[in-house]
Amino acid sequence: MDLAVVVNNFRFLIVQGFLGLGNFAGGTLRLAVPAIVLGFGLGIVIGLARLAGAPWIRVPAMMYVEFFRGVPLVMVIFWMWFIVPQLLQRPIPEFGVALTAFVVFEAAYFGEIVRAGVQSVARGQVEAATALGLSRASAMRFVILPQALRNMVPSLVTQMIVLFKDTSLASIIGYVDLTKAAQIVNNREIRPFELYLFIAVVYWACAYAMSRLARRLEHRPSYA
Amino acid sequence: MKYTFNWSVLWTGQSGHWLLQGVLTTLEISALAWILALGLGILFGALRTVPFRIPRAVGTFYVEFFRNVPLLVWMFFWYFGVPPLLPRAMQDWLFNHGAEFWAGMFALGVYHGARFSEVIRSGIQAIPRTQMEASVAMGLTVPQAYRLVILPIALRLIVPPLTNETLNLLKNSSVALTISVAELTFQTRQIETYTAKAIEALTAGTLIYLVLCVSIASVMGWVERRVAIPGLIVRTG
């Protein structure tokens, strides 16, 4: 066990590989943060579409969710790697490919969380909103979603942790995240045990902190 | 879009053979990892609920440490990091017997074991406390109570979430391609490399995964109906 390899490459591993700061196409957080935001955004659309009355909206949304939940993320990443440049007729950087794959894939899981959250709001709330003269859209926006979001928080954070860990798979197509950075250092230094254990601890610290946060939010009283 | 489809690449040449090999390897690594994960899951899931502090702490440590690190990192760790620390003879044996397969299987099993533990723990906690109290009152020791009363009920309660986790395990076995285990995704990529027909190869791989998932889900659905305890488990949906 020789931790010098970690100390000597700390800047590269953490500043570039993990945070993604500087003129450098990489970084775990630089990929994870937009992937979480956009994936959740698309997830809201898909979750609400699954609850729509019209079958031509509901059925495609259901098929979307079932399809992506039945396919490995690695497969989706490879799909995007080949399909996106073909569709746009020009090469796409790894960041764009990985981001597209994560958003499209995780939206299926976020969609299920949103759907469960909306369904968890008591029926009387919808009926009361309708009785007060709110339109379906206003009732959703002002009554249902604010309560649903609060109910969803624990499972949302859990899914965010999953996505955060999944960003390590972007290294397969060459995106320089923390995992890839460790691989690069290892190719030069041949210290796999120390390097992979170190990045395991970094991932663990972040994921564990997020899961503690989730547990705290779970116990917070609801004001609805 | 300038792309000429040529679906025949999937059954000409070696592609068919590769896909079949890939499916078999995926099923093999998933099945072995599933057995390992279930064993670890029952052990540590039960430990997390026992009325003794130290075993509980051991269980919590295992779960929190292994499930909060990406599977890919575990694969690299078990495949590149650990073997150099083993005795020479063991290293030789491993690398003559498909080290990547065993490292991948172990990584997959240990990672999912932590997730199975959580499922099994919640199953045990769903059982009324009185079951445990009645067992102890009847003179069973705590290990006996777990083996004869608590676990048989808990394992039946958790079939639906276990199905979900089983499918996750199957899908996550694709991560083993990073340490060059020749499973389904790896073979799909190989066909793509040899034929330059990415969309055909990926379609084949994707459809096979969907079929595997649906098959496993229906087998587990059958198991769920078989082992359901009438009156205790209410099927929903």
In a domain, B2, yes or no: no
pLDDT category of residue A49 using cuts at 50, 70 and 90 = very high
Radius of gyration of chain B measured on its C-alpha atoms: 21
Neighbours of A3 (CB within 10 A): 12
| Chain B contact present for A5, CB below 8 A | no
pLDDT surpasses 60 at A118: yes
Mark yes or no for CB contact A203/B80 under 8 Å: no
Residue B117 has phi, psi (to 5 degrees) of -55, -45
Cα-based torsion angle of the residue sequence B78, B81, B84, B86 in order, rounded to the nearest 10 degrees: -50
Question: Residue A222: its pLDDT value, please?
Answer: 56
Neighbours of A68 (CB within 10 A): 19
* CB-neighbour burial class of residue A191 (10 A; exposed 0-12, middle 13-18, buried 19+): buried
Model confidence pLDDT, tens digit, residues A141-157: 899 888 888 888 888 99
Read off the pTM.
0.90
Mark yes or no for CB contact B81/A73 under 8 Å: no
DSSP per residue, B16-57: HHHHHHHHHHHHHHHHHHHHHHHHHHHHHHHHTTSS-HHHHH
| Degrees, nearest 5: CA angle A17-A71-B180 | 55
pLDDT surpasses 80 at B234: no
Model confidence pLDDT, tens digit, residues A56-91: 999 999 999 999 999 999 999 999 998 888 888 888
The encoded tokens of residue B121 equal 């723990």
pLDDT category of residue B196 using cuts at 50, 70 and 90 = confident
Contacts of A215 in chain B (CB under 8 A): none
pLDDT surpasses 60 at A3: yes
| Chain A contact present for B207, CB below 8 A | no
Please count the residue pairs, one from chain A and one from chain B, whose beta carbons lie less than 8 angstroms apart: 106
Contacts of A181 in chain B (CB under 8 A): none
Look-up: residue for tokens 């970084």? Answer: A27
Mean pLDDT of chain A: 90
| Residue B3 Cα, gap to closest chain A Cα (Å) | 8
Nearest to A192 among B3, B80, B178 (CB): B80
DSSP per residue, B56-74: HHHHHHHHHHHHTS-HHHH
Question: Residue A99: its pLDDT value, please?
Answer: 95
The encoded tokens of residue A118 equal 């909306």
Domain count of the fold of chain B: 1
CB A108, CB A65: distance < 8 Å: yes
Query: How far apart are the C-alpha atoms of B149 and B143, rounded to whole Å?
Result: 10
| Chain A contact present for B199, CB below 8 A | yes
Question: Residue B1: its pLDDT value, please?
Answer: 58
In a domain, B30, yes or no: yes
Nearest to A86 among B1, B69, B185 (CB): B1
In a domain, B202, yes or no: yes
Euclidean distance between the first and the last CA atom of chain A, given in angstroms as a whole number: 53
Neighbours of A174 (CB within 10 A): 14
Average pLDDT over residues B189-204: 89
Nearest to A211 among B68, B70, B209 (CB): B68
Cα B66 to its chain centre, rounded Å, is: 13
In a domain, B172, yes or no: yes
| Chain A contact present for B81, CB below 8 A | yes
| Chain A contact present for B64, CB below 8 A | yes
pLDDT surpasses 70 at B235: no
pLDDT category of residue B95 using cuts at 50, 70 and 90 = confident
Question: Residue A221: its pLDDT value, please?
Answer: 55
Mark yes or no for CB contact A74/B188 under 8 Å: no
Query: How far apart are the C-alpha atoms of B190 and B159, rounded to whole Å?
Result: 36
Segments forming the whole domain that contains residue B175: 7-227
Query: How far apart are the C-alpha atoms of A56 and A59, rounded to whole Å?
Result: 6
Q: How far is CA B186 from CA A28, A68, B50, B98, B183, in A?
A: 24, 19, 42, 15, 5
Neighbours of B66 (CB within 10 A): 22
In a domain, B218, yes or no: yes
Decide which of B106 and A220 is more confident: B106
In a domain, B236, yes or no: no
Contacts of A87 in chain B (CB under 8 A): 1
Question: Residue B236: its pLDDT value, please?
Answer: 47
pLDDT surpasses 50 at B210: yes
Model confidence pLDDT, tens digit, residues A179-197: 999 999 999 988 999 999 9
| Chain B contact present for A168, CB below 8 A | yes
Contacts of B185 in chain A (CB under 8 A): 72, 74-75, 78
In a domain, B205, yes or no: yes
In a domain, B232, yes or no: no
Mark yes or no for CB contact B171/A67 under 8 Å: no
Domains in chain A, CATH or no CATH each: 4-218 (1.10.3720.10)
The interface residues of chain A toward chain B in range 190-209, judged by CB-CB distance below 8 A, are: 192-193, 195-197, 199-200, 203-204, 207-208
Average pLDDT over residues B89-114: 93
| Residue A1 Cα, gap to closest chain B Cα (Å) | 10
Continuous segment of H or E residues that includes residue A70: none
CB B104, CB B205: distance < 8 Å: no
Contacts of A197 in chain B (CB under 8 A): 77, 81
Q: How far is CA A107 from CA A55, B15, B211, in A?
A: 20, 32, 22
| Chain A contact present for B52, CB below 8 A | no
pLDDT surpasses 60 at B94: yes
pLDDT surpasses 80 at B127: yes
Residue from A9, A34, A21 nearest A103 by CA: A34
Question: Residue B231: its pLDDT value, please?
Answer: 72
Question: Residue B119: its pLDDT value, please?
Answer: 94
CATH number reported for the structural domain that contains residue B24 in this entry: 1.10.3720.10
| Degrees, nearest 5: CA angle A174-A176-A182 | 105
Q: Which residues have CB under 8 Å from A195's CB, separation 6+?
A: A5, A6, A182, A185, A186, A189, B81
| Degrees, nearest 5: CA angle A26-A32-A33 | 110
DSSP per residue, A20-78: --SS-SB-HHHHHHHHHHHHHHHHHHHHHHHT-SSHHHHHHHHHHHHHHHTS-HHHHHH
ipTM value for the complex = 0.89
Average pLDDT over residues B66-93: 92
The encoded tokens of residue B53 equal 């502090």
